Amino acid sequence: MAQEIAMLHDVARCSACRACMVACKQWHDLPADMSTPFEGQYQSHKELTPTTWNLIQMNERVDSAGKFHWDFFKRQCMHCADPACAKGCPEEAIDKLPNGAVVIDEEKCVGCGYCTHNCPFDVPKVNKETNKSTKCDLCFDRIAEGMEPACSKTCTADAIRFGTKEEMLRRAEERVAILKQEGHQDANVYNPQGVGGIHMLYVLPEKPSVYNLPENPQTPDSINLWKDVVRPLGKLAGAGAIVGVLGMAALKGMTSKKEGK
């Protein structure tokens, strides 16, 4: 059985150098997006795009004491243990691999956008040119060859770590303890259980809302109903219809044979 893996982003250590973004584009051969006009901050894109799967967000804020903070946050697919995108895909084009990576099969994808609509983190994006949904694939091809993801390999600030999920959770708890000693009383490990936990873990010095993260994201009930009830019943109904058609054809054949006699 494959061992669960995870990446860990230590927000307090990130310097926003964006080397991880460049490494992601290089490894996946993703083109550069058209630049947007300067709007008062240095964030390269407002959001993830079909060709930008990894984005360093720059959050500017002033705390209750009037002190200015500039928080850097690595935004990408969370690789949920209970992925709503995979459950909601009508073409079954999204798989959760045994090690935890959630991957889109572009050959099966029809660009319906259901994955985007159902993702609690609004991650997958449909490429209008190819009509395919895209997102971070956790460099599953590199991992299969014994390498770590391109972004974690590139990070010089040691803000992105990669390893087994057990190890990453242990490291995350250690870092949270240190941050609390340093005065960050709201420091926490972001690993929401409403989506079964995630394989893109975070050490956050502040509450999730500071980084525009949902406090308690959930896999929508409608998706669970679709995946666990509606779709199986639909398959049974489809199979029943096929059996019925074949049965009628066989009966017709037998009748014709008798009449021929």
Say if residues 57 and 211 touch (Cβ distance below 8 Å): yes
Is 20 labeled as ligand-binding? yes
Assigned token pair, 234:
């639909």
Is 115 labeled as ligand-binding? yes
Is 81 labeled as ligand-binding? no
Is 112 labeled as ligand-binding? yes
Assigned token pair, 64:
């209750």
Beta bridge partners of 133: 126
Assigned token pair, 192:
């929401």
Say what the alpha-carbon torsion angle 143, 44, 52, 71 is, to the nearest 10 degrees. 50
Is 77 labeled as ligand-binding? yes
Is 64 labeled as ligand-binding? no
**Nearest Cα residue to 149 out of 138, 157, 159, 161:** 138
Is 139 labeled as ligand-binding? yes
Is 256 labeled as ligand-binding? no
Q: Tell me how far apart the 2 most distant CA atoms of the chain are, in Å.
A: 98
The radius of gyration of the chain's CA atoms, rounded to the nearest angstrom, is 23
Which residues, 6 or more positions from 226, have their beta carbon under 8 angstroms from its beta carbon? 87, 88
Is 89 labeled as ligand-binding? yes
Say if residues 113 and 123 touch (Cβ distance below 8 Å): no
Is 93 labeled as ligand-binding? no
Summarize the annotated binding site as residue ranges: 14, 17, 20, 24, 77, 80, 85, 89, 109, 112, 115, 119, 136, 139, 151, 155
Summarize the annotated binding site for [4Fe-4S] cluster as residue ranges: 14, 17, 20, 24, 77, 80, 85, 89, 109, 112, 115, 119, 136, 139, 151, 155
